Structure 1
Amino acid sequence: MTNHHSNPHLVVLSGAGISAESGIQTFRAADGLWADHPIEEVATPEAWARDPERVLRFYDARRDQVRRARPNAAHKALARLEADGFRVSIVTQNIDDLHERAGSRRVVHLHGEILKARSSVDARMRYPLPRGGIALGDVCDKGSQLRPDVVWFGEAVPRFEEAIEIVAEADLLLVVGTSLAVMPAASLIDEAPMAAPRVLVDPEARDLTTAGVHGLSLPAGEGVPLLARHWRREGRLWLPEAVFGE
């Protein structure tokens, strides 16, 4: 591994807000996903046990939305930093593949990936879904019904320990599209090294930032490219005075 100075490590915690700018509905907005679908009826293990067909239909519709969406300027700016030689690790709460489609290679999905199916008896058995959805009767290699490869409410977050290890190696932590109130981002931010600056890009950043977090009150599609341009120009991760007035 190269030393930090020649190859600074940017760790990004991304949430629904970065995908919203690509047209993917967020769960919490007034017109969001849960307006029509109570969480308990489509996104819990109990819902799956009670009415798997309804759950599969819900995720088929989400999958179509993800496939239609395109990476936006924020996704592309992060991928370009990586292409330019920065180490970029992304820990995302999003179940879409927009980071990957933009070109990012190191992406950990805390809540799973909607474009994969997985066995309902063995979580390690995953199957890509390049097209179509999951129907009742579609089974894994062990003969059990396939389910969406997403973490439902009430289920453990299997890659959380991995996320902690990544954040602990950050030279700068960039939080985008998720508020610091939402778990698990809220607890992950505390895992960053003391010396690593923490930056929140969010339209409401002024109200959301806590001590030791630098806020940039812009949407992801403006704020992330703005920072990325400064970092690329200098070849390092820093807090540009022009942006943060420090």
Structure 2
Amino acid sequence: MGESRQPHLVVFTGAGISAESGIQTFRASDGLWADHPVEEVATPGAWRRDPARVLRFYDARRDQVRRARPNPAHKALAALETQGFRVSIITQNIDDLHERAGSRRVLHLHGEVLKARSTVDPRLRYPLPRGGIRLGDVCDKGSQLRPDVVWFGEAVPLFADACELAAEADLLLVVGTSLAVMPAASLLEYAPFDAPCVLVDPEAEALAPPGVTRLSQPAGKGVPALVRHWRREGRLWVPETLLE
């Protein structure tokens, strides 16, 4: 059976899935923004004013990502690919936990913290297997390197690609996101009208818009439970027994 005929699960993940691996989130009461105001570390203006501070902030994020490990939610999504499902992941997260779990199709809407990119040519990207970025580190065109992340106030270059993926979904699974960050939150509008949409989050009852099935569980519990059903049945569906 060709890949185009396989059930296509499109997964949209946010900070909640990474939080279960120990990665500090931005919006929690004790999150990153509590100590680091966004305008001081994650905007083009912050970069112009104090690039050294921005680099230190992202070096610390990078160290945290390297220490983290994929959790059961990441692993379950990766395992689903081995069962003949087509799984595409759209993530707001800048870590590489999906890839380390084994997922092969991951689109990073907001960039990747384990990469650097040129400040004059965004096509020039460089992996950072170890260490960080220092002032004076330059790209092949001689320009200072910056974190390969999308800052507040910048365009989201891969948003159109993410919309195309969402439009191909047989089922859209949303995991660990408040659905508050735009334009990413509008991805749900691009899914086919007849494609089921499930939100897995401890606060799902409060977060899910009308028409979205709510599974009020942490990602590490809810996602593996769904995947077990799908692998056993060989199809994508919303098992009502999980929603009681």
TM-score normalised per structure 2: 0.97
CA–CA distance in 1 between the matches of 2:49 and 2:206? 40
Displacement of 1:242 after TM fit?
Answer: 1.0
What's the offset of the Cα at 1:183? 2.1
1:228 aligns with 2:227: yes
Over 3 Å counting, the alpha-carbon distance change for 1:3 and 1:112 in structure 2 is closer
Q: Which amino acid aligns with 1:54?
A: R
Q: Per-residue CA shift, 1:50-106, capped at 9, x if unaligned?
A: 110000000000000000000000000000001221100000000000000000000
Amino acid at match of 1:142: K
Residue 223 of structure 1, CA deviation? 0.3
Does 2:95 match 1:96? yes
Residues in 1 aligned to 2:180 and 2:119: alpha-carbon distance in whole angstroms? 31
What is the percent sequence identity of the aligned residues? 79
Match of 2:82 in 1: 83
Partner of 2:140: 141
- Structure 2 unaligned runs (5+)? none
Output the CA distance in 2 between the equivalents of 1:31 and 1:72: 21
The one-character-per-residue Cα deviations of 1:113-139 (angstroms, maximum 9, x if unpaired) are: 000000000000000000000000000
Matches within 5 A, 1:1-246: 1-4=2-5, 7-244=6-243
Letter in 1 for 2:53: R
Scaled by the length of structure 1, what TM-score is found? 0.97
Q: Could you say what secondary structure the match of 2:70 adopts? A: coil
What secondary structure does 2:230 align onto? Answer: helix
- Provide the aligned C-alpha RMSD in A: 1.0
Unmatched 5+ residue regions in structure 1?
Answer: none
After TM superposition, give the deviation of residue 184 of structure 1 in Å: 3.0
2-structure distance, mates of 1:159, 1:2:
23
The size of the alignment, in residue pairs, is 243
Distance 1:197 1:75 in 2: 21
Per the TM alignment, residue 190 of structure 1 is displaced from its structure 2 partner at its CA by 0.7
Question: What's the offset of the Cα at 1:3?
Answer: 4.6
The residue identity in structure 2 corresponding to 1:91 is I
Tell me the distance in 2 between the aligned counterparts of 1:99 and 1:40. Answer: 28
CA deviation vs aligned residue, 1:27-61 (integer Å, no higher than 9, x gap): 00011011111111100001101110000000000
| C-alpha distance in structure 2 between counterparts of 1:14 and 1:2, whole Å | 23
CA contact (8 A) 1:10 1:171 kept: yes
